[in-house]
Amino acid sequence: MGRFAVKKILIANRGEIAVRIARACREMDISPVAVYSECDRAALHVRYADEAYPIGPSAPRESYLRIDRLVETAKRAGVDAVHPGYGFLAENDDFATACRDAGLIFIGPTPEAITLMGSKTAARTAAKKAGVPVVPGTEDPLSPDVPDAEIGRIAAQIGYPVLIKAVAGGGGKGMRTVTDPADLPSAIRAARSEAGAAFGDPAVFVERRLARPRHIEVQLLGDEHGTVLPFVERECSIQRRHQKVVEETPSLAVTPALRDAITSAAAAVARTVGYTSAGTIEFLLDEDGRFYFLEMNTRLQVEHPVTEMVTGLDLVHWQIRIARGEKLTLDPRALLTPSGHAIECRIYAEDPDNNFLPSPGRILALRPPAGPGIRDDSGATAGLDVPIFYDPMISKLIAWAEDRPRAIARMRRALTEYLVAGIKTTVPFFTWLFAQPEFLAGRFHTTYLDEVLAARAGRPFVEPDAEAEEVAVMAAALQAVMTAPAVSADRSSQPIASRWKQQARVQGSR
Amino acid sequence: MQYEAEINGRSRLVIVARDDGGFVVSIDGRSWRVDAARIDRHTLSLLVADADTGIRLKPHAAAGAHEAGRTVGYEVTVARDPATARLAVRVGATPVFVGLESGRRWRRKDEQHGGGSGPQRVVAPMPGKIVRVLVQTGEAVHARQPLVVIEAMKMENELRTARDGTVSEVHVREGASVDAGSVLLVIT
């Protein structure tokens, strides 16, 4: 046990990640406390927690981003610690400071480390200090009063294509690729607007876009006793508009020598800032085998389960153990030696056949996949409304198997089991992706998906054949017949007496 | 019961009759014997056998599909799609959209995907907030031109026109909240 007792944790988040953290709490005999906005009263994370408190209206700025209300709620509930999850305030140094000032343990790095690594420009400086190469780009953030013409000059110097990125960004928001200088002003405007709305900071910076890089990242754990341990790499090159959609570990592109180099580089960057808790260092791996520091995420990541699946460890448990002052007692070699292969699909409430437009609404029926090697980290249940206010991810689906082909086969099996009615999800898209030769062979890079999607020009991902069409017509008609009030054949809603009669008829007819 | 079903632009005649505790379903004259179990309000388990010559439907193309006497199982969900007023049916892992009307011809309520003639009603595909309206009444537009930017779930999304035309009606203002299926603009 560590120096601090943690018996009760407030989870300052919602949806699937709040449920996932609450599960870790239960396993560690810690009482989970939920918070919720107006539209989340019925959400799974509220039902799963021991205690739950309202924190305001549905808009994130009025609830999940309200530091004052969260801290006040934490004190009122008498918790020892606060877990921010990811998104919302997870990388907000003011929140970490407010927790510390209120005598609460913030389950994450220090506010100082968040401040430093949360600024993409400051993080690049830290990486250079650790001797790790960075992608060419601007050294200082470009605040909103920097004129477009000035940014245009900078972009021309760096060389097109460039990426406009939010200094406080993450999750693909506030990021735009610019190939043609003429598109620069509108890209800056869009990036600033998204960054301002999502992170409250419209500052951007400019970075060269490598031609066909792969996204390789290294999970780390650091304790308060000076130990920083890197894990086997994850590959997240399958991205749509800079947003990861599939993550896996280990990477097909990483040799043992490269693994040693990239994980050591990651640990070196983290050590220069005295990093504690879970964090991830992201790299771009160029076609020539060179890698560049991209940024550090000072929090748990959406794709953390794939690392858990191949190492057998629970990263949320370790975040909590580190927060209560425990020492990292893990074998460093074991963390770099994956057992089998794991892949994650981010299941979104989006319509893949309609340009991935959000598809909020009521989930009418839901049966997630299960069985060997499958893990579904979900915040969704039947009867629940997927609100329009938040990220559309409803679940993370993870498949583990002894090798990559078997993990893919298992994921394909799981996708056929994923039954959702009422909203559209990205499941049909994944069904298509997991049959693509390039994906199966591991021949991809960070713009692979955007390129093939553009080339497909909106064709449906799973096109029904004659058989599926016939069965669909059959089902639609039968559903109409069976729900017609005069001929109620709904077994579940039939009175018990008539079910007895029905049973008697069946018996008699034998 | 008789229905008119529209699928992928094609109309099919469906007749459902009860028979011996199950159903006989015929589509454009071809019949199947179907045992249908309702799992919940939106989920059906179907066991399907060809009513005449054994089986034609098959779960896997390779699996000796034409053997007589086989019964093929399907798990199907049926729910109304609020944006198009059609039925979103999922057959196994395959989504299929079906327009269903009893007795009379089913008419598409959503013409936005059609490249054909007649006014094109641009509807909100999901509930959200109108961030920008990029065109005005009377303005000529060309296919794929962005018309409206709608924000939902932290992302801004452009809605585009399916074909060339003129904006004849604009029903939304910037900042307005809209429901799925509400008509935003009309292109003629």
**Residue B180 in contact with partner chain A when CB distance is under 8 A:** yes
A250: preceding bond cis by omega (within 30 degrees): yes
Cβ–Cβ under 8 Å, residues B89 and A476: yes
pLDDT given at position A7: 97
- Structure token digits, residue A285: 């791996």
- Structure token digits, residue A276: 């504690």
Question: 3-class DSSP state for residue A135?
Answer: coil
pLDDT given at position B162: 76
Distance of CA A243 to the CA centre of its chain: 9
Report whether pLDDT(B72) > 50: yes
By the 10 Å C-beta count (0-12 exposed, 13-18 middle, 19+ buried), A68 is classed as: exposed
Tell me the count of A-B CB pairs closer than 8 A.
Answer: 181
| pLDDT per position as a tens digit, A309-353 | 999 999 999 999 999 999 999 999 999 999 999 999 999 999 999
Distance of CA A332 to the CA centre of its chain: 26
Contacts of A240 in chain B (CB under 8 A): none
Dihedral over Cα of A416, A422, A425, A429: its sign: positive
pLDDT given at position A465: 92
- Structure token digits, residue A401: 């198997």
pLDDT given at position B64: 37
> CA A56 to CA A73: how far, in whole Å?
11
What residue ranges in A89-147 does DSSP mark as E strands? Answer: 105-106
* Mutate: best of B91, B110, B132, partner A, most A CBs <10 A: B91
What type of residue is A362? Answer: R
> CA A294 to CA B167: how far, in whole Å?
45
- Structure token digits, residue A259: 């693994």
Residues in chain A: 510
- Structure token digits, residue A478: 């039968």
| Contact at CB, B152 and A388, closer than 8 angstroms | yes
> CA A324 to CA A28: how far, in whole Å?
12
Q: How confident is the model at residue B12 (pLDDT cuts 50, 70, 90)?
A: very high
Q: Which of B118, B120, B116, B128 is nearest to B82 (CA)?
A: B128
Cβ of A282: how many Cβ atoms within 10 Å?
A: 19
- Residue bearing tokens 């007749």: B15
What type of residue is B61? Answer: A
| Contact at CB, A481 and B78, closer than 8 angstroms | no
Q: Which of A133, A88, A84 is nearest to A279 (CA)?
A: A84
pLDDT given at position B159: 83
Distance of CA B50 to the CA centre of its chain: 26
pLDDT tens track, chain A, 510 positions:
678 999 999 999 999 999 999 999 999 999 999 999 999 999 999 999 999 999 999 999 999 999 999 999 999 999 999 999 999 999 999 999 999 999 999 999 999 999 999 888 889 999 999 999 999 888 888 888 888 888 889 999 888 999 998 887 666 778 888 999 989 988 888 888 888 887 778 888 899 989 899 999 999 999 999 999 999 999 999 999 889 999 999 999 999 999 999 999 999 999 999 999 999 999 999 998 999 999 999 999 999 999 999 999 999 999 999 999 999 999 999 999 999 999 999 999 999 998 899 998 999 999 999 999 999 999 999 999 999 999 999 999 999 999 999 999 999 999 999 999 999 999 999 999 999 999 999 999 999 999 999 999 888 999 999 999 999 999 999 999 998 765 444 444 444 444 444 444 444 443
β-pair type (A31-36, A51-54): parallel
Cβ–Cβ under 8 Å, residues A399 and A343: yes
| pLDDT per position as a tens digit, B122-164 | 888 777 889 899 999 999 998 878 899 888 776 777 788 878 8
Q: CB under 8 Å, gap of 24 or more: what pairs does A183-189 form?
A: A184/A148, A184/A151, A184/A152, A184/A155, A185/A148, A188/A148, A188/A151, A188/A164
Distance of CA B40 to the CA centre of its chain: 21
Contacts of B1 in chain A (CB under 8 A): 477, 480-481, 484
| Contact at CB, A419 and B98, closer than 8 angstroms | no
pLDDT given at position A18: 98
Cβ–Cβ under 8 Å, residues A161 and A175: no
Percent helix, strand and coil across chain B, each rounded to 5? 0, 55, 45
Cβ–Cβ under 8 Å, residues A480 and A488: no
Question: 3-class DSSP state for residue A10?
Answer: strand
pLDDT given at position B55: 46
Q: How confident is the model at residue B66 (pLDDT cuts 50, 70, 90)?
A: very low
Give the nearest chain A residue to B92 (CA atoms): A416
Compute the C-alpha angle A409/A413/A419, nearest 5°: 150
- Residue bearing tokens 């981003």: A65
Question: 3-class DSSP state for residue A201?
Answer: coil
pLDDT given at position A175: 86
Nearest 5°: phi and psi at A482?
Answer: -75, -20
| Contact at CB, A421 and B43, closer than 8 angstroms | yes
Cβ–Cβ under 8 Å, residues B147 and B135: yes
Cβ of A239: how many Cβ atoms within 10 Å?
A: 20
B89 → closest Cβ in A364, A472, A482: A472
Integer CA distances (angstroms), B161 to A311, A505, B151, B158, B167, in order: 49, 58, 17, 10, 10
CA-based nearest distance A294→chain B, Å: 23
Cβ–Cβ under 8 Å, residues A203 and A191: no
| pLDDT per position as a tens digit, B14-44 | 999 998 889 999 999 889 999 999 999 999 9
Cβ–Cβ under 8 Å, residues A271 and A128: no
> CA A313 to CA A322: how far, in whole Å?
14
By the 10 Å C-beta count (0-12 exposed, 13-18 middle, 19+ buried), A1 is classed as: exposed
| Contact at CB, A357 and B46, closer than 8 angstroms | no
pLDDT given at position B59: 45
> CA A338 to CA A3: how far, in whole Å?
31
Cβ–Cβ under 8 Å, residues B58 and B72: yes
Catalytic positions of A, written as ranges: 299
Distance of CA B162 to the CA centre of its chain: 18
- Residue bearing tokens 């989340």: A40
| pLDDT per position as a tens digit, B73-118 | 999 999 998 778 899 999 988 999 999 988 644 444 444 444 445 6
> CA A15 to CA A363: how far, in whole Å?
14
